[in-house]
């Protein structure tokens, strides 16, 4: 005789994505208003070393902010500075420092871990927070374009393992996301540009009007004008949030539409030993899958040239030597394994609308790579 007891329940999630400037100015109460909902909680700050190097007064600013609002929250220890970039996701000892700190400083489920840095570092801290005490509340403070308009907004946390990107991870929403536009002013040109690739991605598969807007403002963004960059970040973040609130926020299925261009990007990062940054790899991956879509007759040559033109206007490369050879297509199998189920790749049905496919013609992928190599080597007429 079989006895089966079945339980079904739903857990609502709510978090705010905030945009501001000077969040550690004592007069700016955005952060303290979030923390004041609890009775003087402990907060533990973890800072990307690249951010602390660029902002040498950041730790003293955090301490001054905490002193000015000492009735509302307390720092349980000095901020921990850790490496940023993929280094922190590849070195297991880095996330373990955070787990050890939760034990050493009595950081519990009524405390907060506040992570300040780029997307990779936020992924790593989020993973450490999620597995400590089965989940410590996380406040993300992203400092790059890429993290402000995409990665910090979502519900995923991870580290790399077994030579694969994001092999270990959790789906755990943050408590809140605080975006401070002032951090963007000190980015180098590569990091300024890199995150815009995620906006191209979401525009191409979801919103033609946003893609057209990006074409119109590409030169301004490439020239580091702040106002169009703010507009792009907020709009991109909103579109990512809208998607997360849809049918499958924790990706139980094998479909991941917001990973347009990413199967190749993830493999390209690894093959380049992370010489190519995530946003740069995504731009190349978008160019590759757009070219593949053209070769399949899904989009016109004129549409493809608009995509290639936008990518080039923003200053991205279209090709990298690591694309050549058979190693790239192995990324398709790894992408399938990462998601589970059947292979599901997002391509373009038309500008502003994606379409899912479940197989890729390897010879057509190689042909698309050759086309990108040619695009990279010759000038393309770009209307501005």
pLDDT tens-digit series, residues 189-229 = 999 999 999 999 999 999 999 999 999 999 999 999 999 99
Render pLDDT for 67-124 as a digit per residue (tens, 0 to 9): 999 999 999 999 999 999 889 999 999 999 999 999 999 999 999 999 999 999 999 9
Query: What is the pTM assigned to this prediction?
Result: 0.87
Taking phi over 0 as left and psi of -120 to 50 as alpha, with beta for the rest, 217 belongs to alpha
The answer for residues whose C-beta is within 8 angstroms of residue 59's C-beta and 6 or more apart is: 47, 52, 78, 79
Domain 16-186 has CATH 3.20.20.70: no
The band of 379, judged by pLDDT with boundaries at 50, 70 and 90, is low
CB 47 within 8 A of CB 80: yes
The band of 36, judged by pLDDT with boundaries at 50, 70 and 90, is confident
Residue 337: its pLDDT value, please?
80
Report the mean per-residue pLDDT for the chain.
92
Query: 282: helix, coil or strand?
Result: helix
CB 216 within 8 A of CB 228: no
Whether 138 has a pLDDT exceeding 60, the answer reads: yes
Q: Helix and strand tally (H, E) in the chain?
A: 16, 11
Whether 381 has a pLDDT exceeding 50, the answer reads: no
DSSP 138: E
Please report, to the nearest 10 degrees, the dihedral formed by the alpha carbons of residues 315, 124, 254, 308 taken in order: 0
Structure tokens at 208: 């033609």
Whether 182 has a pLDDT exceeding 70, the answer reads: yes
From CA 73, how far away is CA 89, in angstroms rounded? 29
The superfamily (CATH) of domain 190-377 is Dehydroquinate synthase-like - alpha domain (1.20.1090.10)
Residue ranges matching CATH 3.40.50.1970 in the chain:
16-186
Report the 10 Å Cβ neighbour count for 246. Answer: 8
Residue 258: its pLDDT value, please?
75
Average of pLDDT values for 334-358? 87
Our CA angle for 115, 261, 321, nearest 5°, is 100
- The string of DSSP codes covering 88-133 is HHH-HHHHHHHHHHHHHTT--TTSEEEEEE-HHHHHHHHHHHHHGG
Whether 53 has a pLDDT exceeding 90, the answer reads: yes
Q: Supply φ then ψ for residue 74, to 5 degrees.
A: -135, 150
Render pLDDT for 219-252 as a digit per residue (tens, 0 to 9): 999 999 999 999 999 999 999 888 887 666 776 6
């Amino acid at each position: 005789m079989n006895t089966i007891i079945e339980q079904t329940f739903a857990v609502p999630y709510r978090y705010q994505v905030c945009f501001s400037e000077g969040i550690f100015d004592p007069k700016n109460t955005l952060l303290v208003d979030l923390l004041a909902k609890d009775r003087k909680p402990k907060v533990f700050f973890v800072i990307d070393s690249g951010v602390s190097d660029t902002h040498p007064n950041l730790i003293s600013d955090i301490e001054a902010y905490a002193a000015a609002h000492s009735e509302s929250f307390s720092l349980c220890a000095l901020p921990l500075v850790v490496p940023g970039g993929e280094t922190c996701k590849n070195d297991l000892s880095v996330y373990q420092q955070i787990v050890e700190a939760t034990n050493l400083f009595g950081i519990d489920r009524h405390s907060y871990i506040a992570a300040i840095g780029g997307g990779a570092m936020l992924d790593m801290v989020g993973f450490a927070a999620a597995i400590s005490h089965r989940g410590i509340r996380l406040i993300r403070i992203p400092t790059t374009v890429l993290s402000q308009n995409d990665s910090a907004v979502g519900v995923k946390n991870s580290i790399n393992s077994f030579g694969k990107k994001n092999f270990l991870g959790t789906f755990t929403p943050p408590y809140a996301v605080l975006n401070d536009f002032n951090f963007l002013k000190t980015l180098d040109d590569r990091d300024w540009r890199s995150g815009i690739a995620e906006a191209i991605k979401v525009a191409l598969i979801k919103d033609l009007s946003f893609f057209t807007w990006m074409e119109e403002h590409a030169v301004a963004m490439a020239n580091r004008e702040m106002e169009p960059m703010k507009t792009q970040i907020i709009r991109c973040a909103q579109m990512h949030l809208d998607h997360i609130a849809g049918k499958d926020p924790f990706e139980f299925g094998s479909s991941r539409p917001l990973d347009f261009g990413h199967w190749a990007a993830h493999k390209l990062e690894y093959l380049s030993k992370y010489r190519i940054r995530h946003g740069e790899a995504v731009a190349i991956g978008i160019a590759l899958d757009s070219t593949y879509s053209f070769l399949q007759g899904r989009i016109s040559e004129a549409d493809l040239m608009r995509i290639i033109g936008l990518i080039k206007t923003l200053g991205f490369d279209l090709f990298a030597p690591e694309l050549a050879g058979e190693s790239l297509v192995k990324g398709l199998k790894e992408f399938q394994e990462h998601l589970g189920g059947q292979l599901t790749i997002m391509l373009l049905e038309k500008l502003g609308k994606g379409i899912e496919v479940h197989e890729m013609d390897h010879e057509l992928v190689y042909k698309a790579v050759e086309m990108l190599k040619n695009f990279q080597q010759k000038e393309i007429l770009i209307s501005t």
